Amino acid sequence: MSAPIINPEVVLSAIDVVTTASTSGPSRVPGVVAGVTTDRETIALTAAGVRAIDDPAPMTTDDVFAIFSTTKAITGTVALQLVESGQLDLDAPARSYLPALGDVQVIDGFDVDGNPRLRDPRSEITTRHLLTHTAGFGYDFFNESYRRLTSEHGVPSIVTAEMASLRTPLLFDPGTQWEYGTNIDWAGLVVEAIAGRRLGQVMSERVFEPLGMNETSFTLTPELSERRAVMHHRNADGELSANHSWALPAEPEVHMGGHGLYSTVGDYLKFIRMWLNDGRSDSGHQVLAVETVADAERNHIGDLKVKMLPGVIPALSNDAEFFPGMPKSWGLTFMINDDDAPTGRPAGSLAWAGLANLYYWIDRRNKIGGYWATQILPFADAASVGGYLEFETATYRALQG
């Protein structure tokens, strides 16, 4: 099937309407940047609203966002590059690269005193498990056992970027279930162990420089900091409050491959474009082999399916599920919608999101993808995710027109 003929002016007009509507009215988002790319170029990039709800300065298309879990696909990309070079076997025990993974136990609930009951795992963790969220690691805002570990047993929040925040037990034996969690943070540490450099340096050399992603980093320069969008919290009454003091650690102990990057929408569209363009950069640099891209977009979790994410810490996340009732699988390292989505996204497309209500999709069939960026907690904020789905739907309607 050939890709549709795309009129950039029609797409930009369509998404302008959505972003303007999303930043208006009582249930608005304070500000949003949204962009659409084909496999050749960014065809639409727009901003609406304000950088902070209590400041009239407008949101601009070059504003900087903490991109949270949309970091994960970039970590997956550098891991796949190591597979291509023969340095990483996805199915070998991950402890052979990172011995700390050999010490991890499985939690089987809590005893009468509230202490975790631990046992040895019945199978080895592999890097494929880590990249597909089948290793057994979780998140405290999506899993009650992990919430108890942070609230009752002193495990730091992952946002601290401390190694101690990753030293948690597995929720099940590797390979037996799908559970969203810190798996790809561990995959980033596997990359570091093989490459002998910090993850940010590996990403810079292997992804950011070839793609021209000059505004993506684990740490903020003063210039990037000046353009940073402000984090907001949606209160119980639906009102928004700006948190000007919120930031990821300036000098993180761990470069968290699961959530730690800052970026701009324009930069991330370059990354999406590489995936649409069979692994090639705009300049023709082969970031990933064509065969690697084709393998990464297929289901790697067998009969397992992506589950609804229960929001067990309401300040951080609501209950979250993309297209409820639709089966969804997982590739390397994206969610795959197994059926056509109501937005117009065809079956087999790739997508994921970030905790502060950032969302993207990659449609390799039609050679189009998009990114929607806000800075609002909790995740799955109705106005934010609703605006994103309207953005995606408007894009596909514009293609049909």
From 22, 72, 97, 270, active-site residue: 72
Name the band, by pLDDT with cuts 50, 70 and 90, for residue 339.
Answer: very high
Superfamily of domain 8-71+197-400: DD-peptidase/beta-lactamase superfamily (3.40.710.10)
CA torsion sign for 124, 129, 133, 139 is positive
Residue whose entry in the numeric block shows the structure tokens 């009951």: 117
Catalytic residue among 97, 139, 146, 180: 180
Residues 58/50, Cβ–Cβ less than 8 Å: yes
The answer, yes or no, to whether residue 305 has pLDDT greater than 70, is yes
Structure tokens at 199: 């993850």
Q: Is 180 a residue of the active site?
A: yes
Q: How many other CB atoms sit within 10 Å of the CB of residue 257?
A: 32
* Residue 3 confidence (pLDDT): 67
Q: How confident is the model at residue 6 (pLDDT cuts 50, 70, 90)?
A: confident
Treating both helix axes as pointing N-terminal to C-terminal, what angle do 265-276 and 72-84 enclose, rounded to 10 degrees? 40
Catalytic residue status for 139: no
CB 29 within 8 A of CB 384: yes
Q: Widest CA span of the chain, in angstroms?
A: 64
Where residue 26 falls among pLDDT bands split at 50, 70, 90?
Answer: confident
Torsion angle defined by CA atoms of residues 392, 393, 399 and 401, in that order, rounded to the nearest 10 degrees: -150
- pLDDT surpasses 60 at 1: no
pLDDT in tens, 265-289: 999 999 999 999 999 999 999 999 9
What are the tens digits of pLDDT across the range 44-83? 999 999 999 999 999 999 999 999 999 999 999 999 999 9
The answer to whether 149 and 197 have CB atoms below 8 angstroms apart is: no
Q: What is the pLDDT of residues 128-184, one digit of tens each?
A: 999 999 999 999 999 999 999 999 999 999 999 999 999 999 999 999 999 999 999
Q: Report, as an integer, the average pLDDT of 385-395.
A: 97
Residues linked to residue 243 through DSSP beta bridges, in sequence order: 231
Which pLDDT band holds residue 300 (cuts at 50, 70, 90)? very high
Tokens 């994206």, residue located: 334
What pLDDT, on the 0 to 100 scale, is given for residue 188? 98
Quick: pLDDT tens for 202-236.
999 999 999 999 999 999 999 999 999 999 999 99
97 is catalytic: no
**pLDDT for residue 97:** 98
Give the confidence band of 197 by pLDDT, cuts at 50, 70, 90: very high
Q: Indicate if the pLDDT at residue 39 is higher than 80.
A: yes
Where are the CATH 3.40.710.10 domain residues in the chain? 8-71+197-400
Q: For tokens 């597995």, what's the residue?
A: 170
Confidence of residue 400 (pLDDT cuts 50, 70, 90): confident
The angle at the Cα of 304, spanning 145 to 325, to the nearest 5 degrees, equals 90
How far is it, in rounded angstroms, from Cα 63 to Cα 58? 10
Q: What is the pLDDT of residue 5?
A: 75
Angle at 50 between CA 47 and CA 56, to 5 degrees: 135
Is residue 401 scored above 70 in pLDDT? no
Q: Which residues pair with 128 in a beta bridge?
A: none
pTM for the model stands at 0.97
Q: Annotated catalytic residue: which of 22, 69, 165, 204? A: 69
